Amino acid sequence: MIELWRLPATELARLVRTREVSAREACQAALERLDAVNPKINAIVAHRPEMVLRQADRIDQLVSRGENPGVLAGVPVTVKVNIDQAGFATTNGTVLQKDLIAKANSPVVDNLVRAGAILLGRSNAPTFALRWFTSNLVHGRTSNPRDPALTPGGSTGGGAAAVTAGIGHLAIGTDTGGSVRYPAYACGVHGLRPTLGRVPAYNASSPERAIGPQLMSSAGPIGRTVDDLRVALAAMAAPDLRDPWWVPAPLEGPAAPLRAAMCVRPGGLPVVKEVEAAVRDAGRRLVDAGWQVDEIDDVPSLNEAAAVQERLWLGNGFAELSEAVARDGDRGALSVVSAFRARVATFEHDLVAHALLRRATATREWRLFLAEFPVLLLPVSAELPFPDGLDLKGEAGFWQVWNAQLVQRGLPAVGLPSLTVSTNLIGSIPVGVEIVASHFREDLCLLAGKAIEARGTPVSPIDPVAIGEIAGTLPEGAA
């Protein structure tokens, strides 16, 4: 008997649409898997089995009537705790919002439901989504299923851990500084950050976001196959008038030459040897698939874009964030605020106006570059996935993490789509590559990602590894 929770989302949806399995059977399998492994990793922090089964029965009724149940028919999906889902708390990982119950779904959740997806549970995230590690005072810590000594990533760490462990077939997260792409990298799966404006976003439960997050945050899927991400994107990108940034751009753009640039050290990033090897391996995989790959020394304005991201993310509303973090008391969030207090004090008075001017220049340079090279291969991070809690190991640990994440920080400032593809394991430690394309060309990211994935990726889903099961130490340069 096939274990339904192991199947790709696309295959499960096909089986449900053709009545080879029922949505209820798929959801019962998902709930059993959640019960079996979630206590080991704490990826899902809220779920209601009776609600899950009611959703499944609705899909089965549509199928029985011969109606179209949607491209994600019967597919269990998890949703990050900073995204509104009616009847659940939009906690954003803070005790200050533990009772903030959403009265309506966010647009992306409504789009998933219309596509036939089953909302399985709420995935964990760090307090205020501030870290590349996942722990908080309201839900606790999430463990990486492949190695509990490693971070599961953040801020969609719960979602990535869940997908890796077979809890749900897709996870939905948000990405302002790598919060979809980095957890996928850390857990050894794939994650797509769509273009700003591709997927509609809005939380009616909360005040309007500051302009910085509005211009940089993007909701995207984490999954075990590139094909699953493609279908998830199509479902998530349906229109919704609540998001004024949403753009009705086609999911498939004009044909482009199979040409990619490869940059091992963007912005002078001092990558460890394992990361360099992974980027070069991905380049060879594309060449094997018929692509032309040109190695380049650097990319446009990445450090400038990262400076813009820093200002729009932390400088815009820093006083209010600091006050909220102080009231919450989470150690990780406090460390971020403490590290940046002095730097934020030096930001220009008319911060947003200056940042938007710099953003326009950087975006122009990136567009011109990507007109020449339709696809760009980059490291996800300067290092292999961090030891869990490295950012709390004093100032040295904090800045080691921050500096390694240049790619994660820079790209959101210019609104580009990018895809993390997991390519290998070094012992128990995942490694992969990031693929970038021009605005609204997620199709090119996915095309290149599919070619890279076809030549090897870590096995998933897996049974979570318990503390003490992995012997040895992190490779040199990983810590």
Q: Catalytic residue numbers?
A: 80, 155, 179
Enter the tokens of residue 254. 């004009």
Cβ partners under 8 Å of residue 179, min gap 6: 125, 129, 154, 155, 156, 173
- Are 444 and 261 a contacting pair, CB within 8 Å? no
Work out the number of other CB atoms within 10 angstroms of the CB of residue 353.
10
Kindly report the backbone phi and psi dihedral angles of residue 150, in degrees, each rounded to the nearest multiple of 5, phi listed first: -100, 150
- Are 267 and 306 a contacting pair, CB within 8 Å? yes
Cβ partners under 8 Å of residue 424, min gap 6: 278, 281, 430, 431, 432, 456, 457, 458
Burial 275-302 (b: 16+ CB within 10 A, else e): bebbbbbbbebbeebebebeeeeebbbb
Residue 326 exposure: Cα atoms within 13 Å on the Cβ side: 8
Cα 245 to Cα 153: distance, rounded to the nearest angstrom: 27
- Are 50 and 27 a contacting pair, CB within 8 Å? no
